[in-house]
Amino acid sequence: MNESLDRIFNAKSIAVVGASTDPKKPGHEILKNIVDIGYKGKVFPINPKADQILGFKCYKSLSEVPEPIELVVFVVPAPVTLKIVEEELIPRKKKFNDTVGVVMVGGGFKETGTKEGKEREKRLKELLNSVGIRLIGPNCQGIIDTTSKVNTTFDVGDYRKGGVSVITQSGALSCSFLMWAKAHDLIGLDKFISFGNMADIDVVEVMEYLADVPTTKVIWVYLEGYNDGKKFLEVAKKVSAKKPIIVLKPGRTQAGAAAASSHTGAMAGEDQIWDAVFKQTGIIRAYTLQELYHTTRAFEKLPLIRGNRIAVLTVCGGLGTLCVEEIASSRYLRMASFSEEAKRRLREILAPTATVGRPDGYIDMTGSVTEKLHYEALKIVLNEDGVDGVIFLTTPPAFLPQREWAIELAKAYNSQPEDRKKPVIAVLGFGDSAIESKRTLEENGIPAYDFPEIAVRVMDNMVKYYLYREKAQEA
Amino acid sequence: MNESLDRIFNAKSIAVVGASTDPKKPGHEILKNIVDIGYKGKVFPINPKADQILGFKCYKSLSEVPEPIELVVFVVPAPVTLKIVEEELIPRKKKFNDTVGVVMVGGGFKETGTKEGKEREKRLKELLNSVGIRLIGPNCQGIIDTTSKVNTTFDVGDYRKGGVSVITQSGALSCSFLMWAKAHDLIGLDKFISFGNMADIDVVEVMEYLADVPTTKVIWVYLEGYNDGKKFLEVAKKVSAKKPIIVLKPGRTQAGAAAASSHTGAMAGEDQIWDAVFKQTGIIRAYTLQELYHTTRAFEKLPLIRGNRIAVLTVCGGLGTLCVEEIASSRYLRMASFSEEAKRRLREILAPTATVGRPDGYIDMTGSVTEKLHYEALKIVLNEDGVDGVIFLTTPPAFLPQREWAIELAKAYNSQPEDRKKPVIAVLGFGDSAIESKRTLEENGIPAYDFPEIAVRVMDNMVKYYLYREKAQEA
Grouping H, G, I as helix, E, B as strand and the rest as coil, residue A445 is coil
The reply to whether B210 falls in a domain is yes
In chain A, residues with a C-beta closer than 8 Å to the C-beta of B23 are 399
Q: For residue B171, give the 3-state DSSP assignment.
A: helix
* Closest to A28 measured CA to CA, from A11, A9, A60, A50: A50
Q: How far apart are CA A315 and CA A320, in angstroms?
A: 8
Which region among A31-45, B33-47, B429-443 has the lowest average model confidence (pLDDT)?
A: B429-443
Q: Do A331 and A281 touch, CB atoms closer than 8 A? A: no
Whether residue A267 has pLDDT greater than 60:
no
Chain B residue at shortest CA distance from A290: B451
Measured distance CA(A82)–CA(A76) in Å, rounded:
10
- Band the pLDDT of A446: cuts 50, 70, 90: very high
List the single residue in A with minimal CA-CA distance to B111: A353
Same structural domain, A35 and A76: yes
Contacts of B16 (CB under 8 A, 6+ apart): B27, B30, B31, B43, B44, B45, B46, B72, B73, B75
Nearest CA in chain A to B321: A259
Question: Does B268 score more than 60 pLDDT?
Answer: no
Residues in chain B: 475
The pLDDT tens digits for A363-380 are 999 888 999 999 999 999
Domain match, B281 and B395 both: no
pTM over 0.95: no
Q: How much is the mean pLDDT over chain A?
A: 92
Q: Domain check: are A281 and A409 in the same one?
A: no
A265 Cβ neighbours under 8 A, 6+ residues apart: A109, A110, A111, A112, A113, A197
**How does DSSP classify residue B332?**
S
Closest partner CB to A359 (pick from B255, B324, B429): B255
Task: Tell whether B127 and B165 lie within a shared domain.
Answer: no
Residues in Cβ contact with A444 at an 8 Å cutoff, skipping those fewer than 6 apart = A406, A407, A410, A413, A414
How close is the nearest chain A Cα to the Cα of B322, in Å?
6
B148 within some domain: no
CB contact under 8 A, A263 and B364: yes
Q: Closest Cα of chain B to A397: distance in Å? A: 8
In a domain, B18, yes or no: yes
The per-residue DSSP string of A5-74 comes to HHHHHT-SEEEEET--S-TTSHHHHHHHHHHHHT--SEEEEE-TT-SEETTEEPBSSGGG--S--SEEEE
In a domain, B145, yes or no: no
Instruction: With CA atoms as reference, report the closest residue to A425 among A338, A333, A310, A287.
Output: A310
Tally the domains of chain B: 3
Q: How does DSSP classify residue A87? A: I
Same domain, B372 and B420: yes
Question: Pairing mode, if any, of strands B189-194 and B218-222?
Answer: unpaired
| A254/B328 CB distance under 8 A | yes
Same structural domain for residues B316 and B294? no
pLDDT digit string, tens, across residues A57-88:
999 999 999 999 999 999 999 999 999 999 99
Name every residue whose Cβ is closer than 8 Å to that of residue B61 and which is 6 or more positions away in sequence: B46, B48, B84, B88
CA B324 to chain centre: 28
A428/A435 Cα distance (integer angstroms): 9
Do the domain assignments include residue B280? yes
A:B CB pairs within 8 Å: 225
Q: Are B115 and B209 in the same domain?
A: no
Distance from CA of B179 to the nearest CA of A (A): 5
Domain-located, residue A155: no
Which residue of B250, B321, B453 is in closest CB contact with A260?
Answer: B321
The domain boundary, picked from A248, A278, A301, lies at A301
Å between A98 CA and nearest CA of chain B: 33
Strand boundaries in A123-273, DSSP class E: 134-136, 142-145, 161-168, 189-194, 218-222, 245-248
Asked, for residue B146, whether it belongs to a domain, the answer is no
Q: How many residues does chain A have?
A: 475
What does the pLDDT read at residue A435?
83
Q: Chain B residues with CB inside 8 Å of A256's CB? A: 321-322, 324-325, 328
Find the mean pLDDT for residues B196-201: 94
- The DSSP result for B101-130, as a single string, is EEEE----SGGG-SHHHHHHHHHHHHHHHH
Which amino acid belongs to residue A241?
A
Residues of A in contact with B255 (CB under 8 A): 324-325, 327-328, 335, 359, 362
CB contact under 8 A, B287 and A453: yes
Assess whether A116 and A194 both reside in one domain.
Answer: no
Contact between residue B394 and residue B452 where contact means Cβ atoms under 8 Å apart? no
Residue B264: what pLDDT?
Answer: 66
For residue A1, the model assigns a pLDDT of: 87
State the pLDDT at residue A317.
Answer: 86
If asked whether residues B457 and B319 sit together in one domain, one would say: yes
State residue A224's pLDDT score: 86
B285 and B172 in one domain? yes
Predicted pLDDT at B113: 83
What is the domain range of residue B89? 3-139
Determine the straight-line distance between the first and last CA of chain A, rounded to whole angstroms.
25
Beta bridge pairs of residue A347: none
Query: Is A153 domain-assigned?
Result: no
Count CB atoms within 10 A of the CB of residue A420: 9
- Chain B residues touching A430 at Cβ < 8 A: 176-177, 179-180
pLDDT value at A212 more than 60:
yes
**How many whole angstroms separate alpha carbon A158 and alpha carbon B287?**
38
Which residue of A170, A429, A450 is in closest CB contact with B317?
Answer: A170
Check CB contact under 8 Å for B256 and A321: yes
CA distances from A425 to A303, A323, B20, B391 (A): 11, 12, 35, 33
Complex ipTM tops 0.85: no
Q: Which residue has better confidence, A170 or A267? A: A170
Residue B181 pLDDT: 82
Query: How confident is the model over B112-128, as a mean pLDDT?
Result: 94
How much is the mean pLDDT over chain B?
Answer: 92
What average pLDDT does the segment B371-376 reach?
97
Helix (H, G, I), strand (E, B) or coil at B182: helix
**Interface with chain B: mutation pick from A262, A310, A330, A356, highest number of B CBs within 10 Å:** A262
Inspect the interface and report whether the beta carbons of B362 and A319 lie closer than 8 Å: no
Enumerate residues 6+ apart whose C-beta is below 8 A from B396.
Answer: A176, B315, B402, B405, B428, B430, B431, B433, B434, B437
| Pair (A317, A411) in one structural domain | yes
From A253's Cα to the closest Cα of chain B, the distance in A is 6
Q: What is the reported pLDDT for B432?
A: 58
pLDDT at B45 over 80: yes
Mean pLDDT of A161-184: 87
Task: Using only the alpha carbons of chain A, give its radius of gyration.
Answer: 25
Task: Specify the CATH number for the domain of residue A58.
Answer: 3.40.50.720
For A173, the closest of B26, B318, B434 (CB atoms) is: B318
Q: Nearest by CB to A325, which of B256, B359, B396?
A: B256
Residue A190 CA from chain centroid, whole number: 9
Mutation site, B325, B333, B458, interface A, largest A CB count within 10 A: B325
Say if residues B276 and A348 touch (Cβ distance below 8 Å).
Answer: no
- Among candidate residues B274, B301, B328, the one where a domain is terminated: B301
How close is the nearest chain A Cα to the Cα of B135, in Å?
21
DSSP-derived secondary structure letter, B305: P
The answer to whether residue B446 scores a pLDDT higher than 80 is: yes
Contacting residues of B for A250, CB less than 8 Å apart: 321-322, 324-325
Residues A297 and A322 in one domain: no
Q: Which residue of B has its CA nearest to A155?
A: B398
List the single best residue of B430, B432, B435 to mutate versus A (max A Cβ within 10 A).
Answer: B430
Alpha helix positions (H), B288-333: 289-301, 317-328
Q: The domain that contains B388 carries what CATH number?
A: 3.40.50.261
Q: Residue A268: its pLDDT value, please?
A: 52
Query: d(Cα A359, Cα A168) in Å, to the nearest integer?
Result: 43
Verify whether the Cβ–Cβ distance A262 to B358 is below 8 Å. Answer: yes
Contact A362 B259 (CB under 8 A): yes
pLDDT above 90 covers a percentage of chain A that reads: 74
